[in-house]
Amino acid sequence: MRNPRATLLLFACVQALGSVEAVAEKAPFTPSPELRALFSARGDAGEALIDADAVEYFEGLPAQAKQFFNQAVEAELMSEPSHLQEILGLDLPVGKLELLMRDNCVVCHTDPATQDLETFFSSDPESAGSPPHLNLKEFASDVHFRRGLSCAGCHGGAPDDDMMADEIYERWPEAPARHEDRSWIAGFCARCHADPVFMRRFNPGLPTDQYAKYKESRHGLLLLGEGDSKAAQCVSCHGVHGIRGPRSPLSPVHPSAGPLHLWAVPRRRRLYARLPDSGW
Ligand code: HEC
Ligand code: HEC
Ligand code: HEC
Ligand code: HEC
């Protein structure tokens, strides 16, 4: 750059940009009055409902992450101190917390003010009295969630919807029929797992033949051919809302979990869970 004035101008621009960035980084966060009220709420005995660890965790978050809490409160998706405590208590790394908080499906489904127990996600479903697979802690470790394929990826709708989309109900059979007849599950997972073009965008190394193999396996023949819902399907082996790759020691299909046919499937179903000769 020969022209000294141009150099100067460039220098000035860089300076200006630098200071804009610095301001953005230091932008103070102002909790809304409603969020402030959640933080200072007290129980019947005068005890703080948001514990000191949760407050410290929140204080340590960048302004952008804190802003999601203002938004959730403003959208009336978060109105109870226990909801705030629950999310902060997960102690998630910032990236995961942001993923979680920008997803209305998760925020609404963890809200005790609007959810019945059958659809309520929490980190301790047993004490909450909800089904064990609605475990928020497990969900935060799910491979799908990590890759941004959250609730909407499997169930339909979009993460910024503020109400339930019809598509969610249409994508699977109605309850209680879907709890009895399990033949829909393999197709539900195969929507992505048997679609090589879609799967390649995330993980080109991952085979997309599970559904094809499943249909030929003893399990698939029993379930899809003979309508026997005791036969194992994808969820009986891999779980749901906390799915990990088979190489994770925490996956129910990891060899350290014991022989699959003895472990993954409840006692009365063991007969059906023998590994067939062709893969599983
Ligand atoms: C504003 C709150 C709210 C939001 C946002 C929300 N849900 Fe729901 N959802 C509910 C409530 C309440 C129920 C239970 C009553 C019902 O089925 O309508 C429910 C039920 C469900 C069910 C069970 C449906 C069935 O067929 O029985 C699924 C699955 C579900 N939600 C997934 C999602 C997904 C995926 C998203 C985001 C795309 C989402 N929800 C967003 C409130 C919400
Ligand atoms: C990997 C796909 C997948 C993801 C991601 C996922 N779900 Fe599910 N969900 C399922 C499957 C499959 C079932 C049925 C499990 C069963 O019947 O054993 C289910 C069950 C449910 C149920 C219980 C309904 C019933 O009647 O049993 C609710 C509510 C629900 N999901 C909501 C959500 C929400 C909210 C999220 C995000 C926090 C989410 N799901 C993420 C696949 C998924
Ligand atoms: C929205 C599309 C989609 C749906 C529906 C879906 N998956 Fe996935 N799944 C993916 C993608 C993409 C990956 C790869 C993630 C990665 O490699 O980071 C993945 C990864 C996995 C893995 C880990 C594989 C590995 O080796 O790391 C398992 C196991 C799995 N899914 C099982 C299921 C089951 C069971 C269901 C049904 C309950 C299901 N998935 C539904 C898209 C989906
Ligand atoms: C009987 C238990 C069982 C059933 C049913 C089952 N899986 Fe698996 N799955 C396994 C085991 C064990 C592995 C690891 C060994 C392997 O890859 O063969 C695995 C591996 C996988 C992987 C990772 C493959 C890789 O190479 O990393 C995906 C993805 C997957 N399964 C999805 C599914 C889907 C989708 C279904 C339903 C169509 C399904 N599984 C049904 C037991 C099962």
pLDDT tens digits, 226-235: 999 999 999 9
Q: How far is the CA of 207 from the centre of ligand 4 (A)?
A: 10
Task: Give the residue, by CA position, lying nearest to ligand 1 atom 22.
Answer: 119
Give the per-residue pLDDT at 184: 98
How remote is the C-alpha of 35 from its chain's centroid? Answer: 24
Ligand 2 neighbour 238 (Cβ under 6 A): no
Q: Answer with the residue of higher pLDDT: 34 or 272.
A: 34
Quick one: which atom of ligand 2 is closest to the CA of 105?
Answer: 35
Report how far Cα 195 is from the mean position of its chain's Cα atoms.
21
* Cα 238 to ligand 4 centroid, rounded to whole Å: 7
HSE-up (13 A, CA, CB side) for residue 105: 20
Residue 264's pLDDT is 44
Looking at the whole model, is its pTM more than 0.95?
A: no
Residue 137: phi and psi, rounded to 5, are: -65, -45
Structure tokens at 196: 């090589």
Measured distance CA(18)–CA(11) in Å, rounded? 10
| Mean pLDDT across 68-82 | 97
Q: CB–CB of 236/268 below 8 Å?
A: no
Cβ(99) – ligand 4 distance below 6 Å: no
Is there an atom of ligand 3 within 6 Å of 227 CB?
Answer: no
DSSP label of 122: B
Measured CA to CA, the distance from residue 259 to residue 253 in angstroms comes to 8
Domain ranges of the chain: 57-172, 174-271
Is the peptide bond between 176 and the residue preceding it cis, with omega within 30 degrees of 0?
yes
Q: What is the pLDDT of residues 90-143, one digit of tens each?
A: 999 999 999 999 999 999 999 999 999 999 999 999 999 999 999 999 999 999
